[in-house]
């Protein structure tokens, strides 16, 4: 056994019902005296409650999906103008992503308070979109110094969005099993993350007001992000980053739709990963377990339901081919990728891909 694994330096606080107390403690620990709170308009009231006792000098509400460069520049300018020394992000992946964009150029520390299951808070990965192209990178400066997980903050997240966000986290786990830098630690984290998400998501769907399911999903989302941050982006994430940046598709729903097709495509060439996923899902096969879970939570089914046009498939194929990881378990040819995208666009049975030739 020979590998290298880097553990990220980050403080993680699970504090159900105590987000305000935990955030105040983390801000004090980091010496924050001029705080910039980043939260979308829809979550402004929630953010106000969580940060009421902080020395806030700026509340920034311009949060845009996929973090356009122009939006990031306005946030950076505002932070500098107010002499900010600490960022507190409260929201989903787009909110965390904007805080990361500010930290990328300023080095300001972040306290992240997730209200979805995006997982961005636990990674050193940043992403920016310009001219319909999403660029991602890895930089230690963007890793939040602290995360405060409070399941009560996710109670207002509607079930359909909870499902999509949770399946996005599951995609982090699955991709981490064959991503370019995967190692036994990442694979162990991913396996436990899959188990937690598969336990929590049906509970959220059946009892949205309950905390137990939401806590399991938060826990699974955190583990998924740890695995993903270390293992890197596999085929699934490369596909979804292109689709999201180029066609402005909703992030979580895109990941939720594409996942079974990538799993069906790669699983025959990655038997160890397939067995681990199946075991974590408690199913005879990985794809059967995933489809069973997706059915139980009424998962998003087709890219055409979320704004992707059939006419864009060929252009998307060319853009994705440029970023396919060389280490993918199975060769990715234009025809194979075209078939995958068409099936995801239609919402076809992913089993139709598992036996396809590349």
Strand (E) positions, the chain? 11-14, 35-38, 56-60, 86-91, 110-114, 125-130, 133-138, 146-149
Number of domains in the chain: 2
* 101, 119, 154 - which closes a domain: 154
- One domain, residues 297 and 325: yes
Distance between CA atoms of residues 204 and 343, nearest Å: 28
CA 101 to chain centre: 16
- How much is the CA Rg of the chain, to the nearest whole Å? 19
Q: Are residues 145 and 180 in the same domain?
A: no
Same domain for 121 and 189? no
pLDDT at residue 356 tops 80: no
Q: Which two tokens stand for residue 243?
A: 């689709």
Q: In terms of residue numbers, what domain contains 18? A: 11-154
Residue 358 has pLDDT above 50, yes or no: no
For residue 335, the tally of other CB atoms under 10 A from its CB is 12
Is 4 domain-assigned? no
Burial class (CB in 10 A: 0-12, 13-18, 19+), 112: buried
DSSP code for 9: -
Same domain, 235 and 169: yes
Question: Is residue 67 included in any domain, yes or no?
Answer: yes
> Do 250 and 134 share a structural domain?
no
Same domain, 232 and 103: no
Same domain membership, residue 130 and residue 167: no
In the chain, the percentage of residues whose pLDDT exceeds 90 is 92
Q: In the listed set 119, 154, 189, which residue is the last one of a domain according to the structure?
A: 154
**CATH number of the domain residue 103 falls in:** 3.40.50.1970
Q: Which of 85-89, 132-136, 137-141, 222-226 has the lowest mean pLDDT?
A: 132-136
Q: Give the model's pLDDT for residue 133.
A: 85
Measured between alpha carbons, how far is 100 from 87 in angstroms, rounded to an integer? 9
Q: What is the pLDDT of residues 71-82, one digit of tens each?
A: 999 999 999 999
Beta-carbon-side half-sphere exposure of residue 341 (alpha carbons within 13 Å):
27
Count of all residues that appear for the chain in the document: 358
| Residue 308 burial (C-beta neighbours within 10 Å; 0-12, 13-18, 19+) | buried
Query: pLDDT by residue (tens digit) across 164-200?
Result: 999 999 999 999 999 999 999 999 999 999 999 999 9
Q: Are 344 and 313 in contact (CB under 8 A)?
A: no
pTM: 0.91
Distance from CA of residue 267 to its chain's centroid? 21
My answer on whether 218 and 322 are in the same domain is: yes
């Amino acid at each position: 056994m020979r590998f290298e694994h880097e553990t990220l330096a980050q403080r993680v606080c699970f504090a159900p019902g105590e987000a305000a107390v935990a955030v105040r403690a983390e801000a004090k620990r980091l010496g924050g005296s001029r705080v910039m709170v980043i939260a979308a308009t829809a979550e402004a009231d929630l953010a106000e409650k969580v940060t009421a006792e902080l020395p806030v000098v700026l509340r920034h509400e311009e949060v845009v999906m996929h973090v356009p460069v122009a939006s990031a520049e306005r946030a950076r300018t505002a932070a500098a103008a107010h002499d900010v020394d600490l960022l507190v992000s409260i929201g989903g992946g787009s909110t965390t992503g904007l805080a990361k964009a500010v930290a990328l150029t300023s080095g300001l520390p972040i306290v992240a308070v997730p209200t979805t299951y995006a997982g961005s808070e636990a990674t050193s990965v940043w992403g920016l979109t310009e001219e319909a192209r999403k660029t991602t990178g890895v930089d230690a400066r963007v890793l939040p110094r602290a995360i405060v997980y409070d399941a009560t903050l996710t109670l207002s997240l509607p079930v359909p969005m909870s499902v999509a966000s949770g399946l996005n986290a599951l995609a982090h786990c699955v991709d981490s099993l064959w991503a370019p830098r995967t190692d036994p630690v990442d694979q162990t984290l991913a396996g436990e993350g899959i188990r937690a998400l598969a336990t929590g998501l049906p509970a959220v769907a059946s009892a949205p007001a309950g905390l137990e399911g939401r806590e399991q999903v938060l826990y699974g989302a955190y583990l998924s992000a740890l695995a993903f941050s270390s293992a890197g982006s596999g085929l699934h994430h490369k596909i979804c980053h292109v689709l999201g940046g180029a066609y402005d598709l909703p992030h979580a729903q895109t990941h939720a739709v594409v996942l079974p097709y990538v799993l069906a495509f790669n699983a025959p060439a990655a038997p160890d990963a397939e067995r681990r996923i199946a075991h974590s899902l408690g199913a005879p096969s990985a794809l059967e377990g995933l489809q069973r879970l997706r059915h139980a939570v009424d998962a998003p089914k087709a890219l055409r339901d979320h704004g992707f046009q059939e006419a864009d498939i060929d252009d998307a194929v060319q853009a994705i081919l440029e970023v396919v990881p060389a280490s993918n378990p199975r060769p990715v040819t234009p025809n194979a990728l075209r078939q995958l995208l068409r099936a995801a666009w239609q919402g076809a049975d992913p089993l139709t891909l598992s036996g396809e030739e590349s």
